[in-house]
A and B are shown apart, each in its own frame.
Chain A
Amino acid sequence: MTTVLTVLWHLTRAATLIAGITILVFLLVRVVPGDVVDVLAIEGGLTDAQAEALRANLGLTVSWFDQFRAWCIGVLQGDFGESLRFRVPAADLLWHAIPVTLRLAAASLLLGFVLAVSVSLLATLRPQSVFVSLVDALNIWSISVPTFCAGLVGILVFSLWLGWLPVLGNFLVPVIILGVDAAGQIVKPLHEEMKELGTAAYVRTARAKGLHPLRIVIVHVLPAAAPVLLAMTGLIAASFIGGALTMEVLFGLPGVGSLAFNAINGRDYPLIQAVVLFLAVSVILINFATDLAHRLIDPRPER
Chain B
Amino acid sequence: MINPYEIGRRTLLAASTALLLASTAIVLPTGAAADEPVRGGVLRIATLGLDTADPHRHTGSIGVQQVYVEALTSIAPDGSAVPWLAESFDVSDDGLSYTFRIRDGVTFHNGDSLTAEEVRANFERVRQNVEGGWLASAMQFTETFEAPDDNTFVVTMNAPYAPFLNLISELWILSPNSPGWDETITQPIGTGPFTFGEWTPNVSLMAPAFEGYWDGDRPYLDAVEFDLHDGADQSLALRSGDLHIGRVSRDQLPMVEADGNIAIQNLKDTTWFFWSFNNRSPNPPLDNVRVREAITYALDKSAYMDFIAGEQGIVTNQMVIPGNFHFDEALHEGDAHAAPNLELARQILEEEGVDPSAVTLQVVSWQRPYAEVAVQMVRELGFEIEHAALDDLGAQQRLGQYDWDLAPMASGPRADVFLRFVRMMSDGPNPVLWGGVQDEEYDRLVSAAVAEADPERRRQHYLDAWQMVMDNYWTVVTGHAPTLFGVRNEVLGFEFGFTFGPHYAGGGLAHAWLAE
- Give Cα A96 to B229, complex, Å: 14
- A44 touching B423 by the CB < 8 A rule? yes
- Give Cα A145 to B240, complex, Å: 24
- Give Cα A112 to B227, complex, Å: 31
Contacts A50-B132, A252-B237; is A45 near B201 (CB within 8 Å)?
no
Q: Is B145 on the interface with A (CB-CB < 8 A)?
A: no
Q: Is B54 on the interface with A (CB-CB < 8 A)?
A: yes
Contacts A34-B396, A38-B393, A53-B132; is A45 near B230 (CB within 8 Å)?
no
Q: Is B53 on the interface with A (CB-CB < 8 A)?
A: yes
B119-171 contacts to A, CB under 8 A, are: 131-134, 136-137
Q: Mark A254-271, 1 if CB is under 8 A from B, else 0.
A: 100011011001010000
Q: Which residues of B contact A302 (CB under 8 A)?
A: none
Contacts A42-B396, A46-B429; is A167 near B53 (CB within 8 Å)?
no
- B134 touching A45 by the CB < 8 A rule? yes
Contacts A50-B136, A252-B229; is A87 near B52 (CB within 8 Å)?
yes
Q: Which residues of B contact A289 (CB under 8 A)?
A: none
- Give Cα A54 to B184, complex, Å: 14
Q: Is B25 on the interface with A (CB-CB < 8 A)?
A: no
Count of A residues near B, CB < 8 Å?
A: 44
Q: Is A282 on the interface with B (CB-CB < 8 A)?
A: no
Contacts A42-B430, A159-B236; is A254 near B392 (CB within 8 Å)?
no
- Give Cα A163 to B240, complex, Å: 7
The stretch of B56-64, B83-91, B475-483 in contact with A is: B56-64
- B242 touching A265 by the CB < 8 A rule? no
- B240 touching A160 by the CB < 8 A rule? yes
Q: Is A85 on the interface with B (CB-CB < 8 A)?
A: yes
Among B60, B202, B393, B433, point to the contact of A259 (Cβ < 8 A): B202
Nearest-CB distance from B293 to chain A (Å)?
28
Q: Is A40 on the interface with B (CB-CB < 8 A)?
A: yes
Q: Which residues of B contact A86 (CB under 8 A)?
A: 51-53, 201-202
Q: Is B411 on the interface with A (CB-CB < 8 A)?
A: yes
Q: Mark A155-182, 1 if CB is under 8 A from B, else 0.
A: 1000110010011110000000000000
Q: Is B428 on the interface with A (CB-CB < 8 A)?
A: yes
Q: Is A39 on the interface with B (CB-CB < 8 A)?
A: yes
Q: Is A78 on the interface with B (CB-CB < 8 A)?
A: no
Nearest-CB distance from B62 to chain A (Å)?
9
Quick one: closest A residue to B395, CB to CB? A42
Contacts A45-B60, A86-B201, A259-B202; is A54 near B242 (CB within 8 Å)?
no
Q: Is B382 on the interface with A (CB-CB < 8 A)?
A: no
Q: Mark B221-234, 1 if CB is under 8 A from A, else 0.
A: 00000010111110
Q: Is A66 on the interface with B (CB-CB < 8 A)?
A: no
Contacts A44-B429, A86-B52; is A160 near B393 (CB within 8 Å)?
no
Identify the 7 closest CB pairs spanning chains A and B, nearest first: A43-B60, A45-B59, A254-B203, A86-B201, A45-B133, A50-B132, A44-B430
New A-B pairs, 7, CB < 8 Å, besides A42-B392, A47-B427? A44-B419, A47-B428, A50-B131, A50-B133, A50-B429, A93-B200, A160-B239
Chain B residues within 8 Å of A, Cβ to Cβ: 51-54, 57-61, 131-134, 136-137, 184, 186, 200-203, 227, 229-233, 236-237, 239-243, 392-394, 396-397, 411, 419, 423, 427-430, 433
Give 9 A-B contacts (CB < 8 Å), ordered by A residue.
A34-B393, A44-B60, A45-B59, A54-B132, A85-B201, A86-B51, A163-B241, A168-B232, A250-B232
Chain A residues within 8 Å of B, Cβ to Cβ: 33-34, 38-51, 53-54, 57, 83, 85-88, 93, 96, 155, 159-160, 163, 166-169, 249-250, 252, 254, 258-259, 261-262, 265, 267
